[in-house]
Homo-oligomer: A and B are copies of this chain.
Amino acid sequence: MVVRQDGPDTMDDAEVDRIFQALADATRRDVVVRVMREGESVTALARRYAMSFAAVQRHVAVLERAGLVRKERHGREQIVRGDVTTVRAATRLLEEYEEIWRGRVTRMETLLAEPEGEVP
Contacts and interface: CB of A to CB of B under 8 A. Distances in A.
Contacts of A26: 13, 16-17
A95 B101 CA distance: 19
B98 A34 contact: no
Q: Which of A34, A87, A111 gathers most chain B CB within 10 Å?
A: A87
A27 B16 CA distance: 12
Please classify the interface of chain A as helix (H, G, I), strand (E, B), loop, or mixed, using the class held by over half of its residues.
Answer: helix
Nearest to A88: B98
Contact of A119 (B36, B49, B116): B49
Contacts of A18: 24
A6 interface: no
11 contacts: A16-B23, A17-B24, A47-B118, A48-B116, A49-B119, A50-B119, A82-B97, A82-B101, A84-B97, A84-B98, A88-B98
